[in-house]
Amino acid sequence: MSNLKVLIVGSSIAGPSAAYWFAKAGAKVTIIERFPQLRTNGQNVDIRTVGVTVMRKIPGLEEAVRAKNMPMDGFNFIRDNGQSIGTLKPTGNPEQQSLISEYEIFRGLLSQILVDLTKDNENVKYVFGEQVKSMHTNDDKDGPITVEFAYGSPTSDYDLVVACDGANSRTRAIGLGQDVPNHIKSLSMWAAYFSVEEDILQGSKLGLLYSAVGGRCMGIGADPSGPNQATLITFHSPNDPAMQKFRDASKQGDAALKSFVAQYYKGAGWKTDQILKGMLESQDFYASEFVQVKLPTFHKGRFVLVGDAGYAGALGSGTSLAMAGAYVLAGEIGRHKDDLAAGLRAYEERMRPIISDLQKVPPFLSSFMAPQTAWGLWLRNNMLAFICWSGILRVAERFFVGAATDVDKYNLPDYEWKA
């Protein structure tokens, strides 16, 4: 692989992860990012299962993640008067995680850690403020891809183009040459993430989770930088017109989106007014729809997808899939040496069953997190109070989390890398 010239599109988790492994195999890597700098905001993410396995294959990464872990002792489910319903805490065993991960970190911090592992490597080059405009395969089917860039970088040939630019990938349709939106399924959920300057937790490291009718769920967690971090997750019934209103607001920019979210959560109870005030004042607001990407193939010719661009929608396991996909892609291409097509096929064959498993939506997720009706919320609260009181919470966690707990379940291979 020492002569392989690779273009990676996207600098968030999947991109620098792929850069690390390709560089370790001796490839020459260029990473482009359409934003002018690395995005260090975003929600907290979990590293689980295959993600933990891959993390431990990178020297120093587990220690770096632990050093930047969210300062969280668990989550306390509360009623609208602030009274506790039940508390969910980590197991203390990273080999058998609960709904609270032992490796919970802000997305931007994890991206920064991964970039720091690769930015000084002589085989890796980062280019910000750039994106792909077009791609053309040379007349020889086995030849490189000619890539034309949108913002001034010279047109160049690459042996492999890897799209790591998220569920809304701008590169996917160019590379696959098909109507990709037909393979994107909405999960009828959206979330907003932002910091709140007011310390709603009053110094506690125990996060708070509150649910209101209408599928509205609010979470507040501690942040080592000072303010609290807020997450608003909203579950909609099928064909709810409010879902389209969220999409319409998203197209109009942050101001319109904040206005929509504030209106939708108005009157939800508890500390909603304080949280919404913090949202309207926040400088790091971000919101997105939850979707699943289910494509008939992850690659075409010398173009391939990794992470959310190819298989978004693994709730709670998207980061782990991105890290695993990057590792397997570089590993299989290296293992097949001069046969790039065989390496890409092997990547897809090995990742398919893992993706299929982790993309399963936990049963009754919306009913558990944020019921639609007052009756459903009353029933959920009382059931949750009972399972917390009775000591069977760990059994319930296994039911909801499912396959997302076992670290070594998927038996990823140990690849040989260039010295």
- pLDDT of residue 398 exceeding 60: no
Least confident range from 21-30, 245-254, 313-322: namely 313-322
Could you tell me which residue, 369 or 295, shows the higher pLDDT?
295
Q: Is the pLDDT of residue 403 over 50?
A: no
In whole angstroms, how far apart are CA 141 and each of 12, 302, 312, 318? 31, 9, 29, 33
pLDDT of residue 100: 67
Q: Which of 114, 44, 38, 111 has its CA nearest to residue 75? A: 44
Could you read off the pLDDT of 337-351 as tens digits, one per residue? 879 999 999 999 999
For 381, residues 6+ apart whose C-beta sits below 8 A from its C-beta are 77, 79, 85
Q: What is the mean pLDDT of residues 19-36?
A: 95
What are the boundaries of each domain within the chain?
Answer: 5-39+109-182+295-358
List, in order, residues 6 or more apart from 189 with CB less than 8 Å away.
233, 234, 235, 236, 289, 290, 366
- pLDDT one-digit tens code per residue, 95-114: 555 566 678 888 889 999 99
Answer whether residue 191 shows pLDDT above 60: yes
Q: How far is CA 140 from CA 146, 167, 173, 210, in A?
A: 12, 31, 22, 58
Q: 120 is written with which tokens?
A: 């000084």
- Mean pLDDT lowest among 187-196, 255-264, 405-414: 405-414
Read off the pLDDT band of 414 (50, 70, 90): very high
Please report where in the chains the tokens 């979330």 appear, as a residue.
191
Report pLDDT for 402. 44
Q: Give, for 93, the enclosing helix (H) or strand (E).
A: none
H helices of 56-144, where?
61-67, 107-118
Q: Which has the higher per-residue pLDDT, 56 or 390?
A: 56
> Is 289 within 8 Å of 166 (Cβ atoms)?
no
pLDDT number for residue 404 = 43
Distance CA 268, CA 178 (A): 42
Q: Is the pLDDT of residue 41 over 60?
A: yes
CATH top-level class of 5-39+109-182+295-358:
alpha beta
Over range 260-289, report the average pLDDT.
Answer: 94
Residue 184 falls in which region: left (phi positive, over 0), alpha (psi -120 to 50) or beta: beta
91: phi > 0 → left, psi -120 to 50 → alpha, else beta; which? alpha
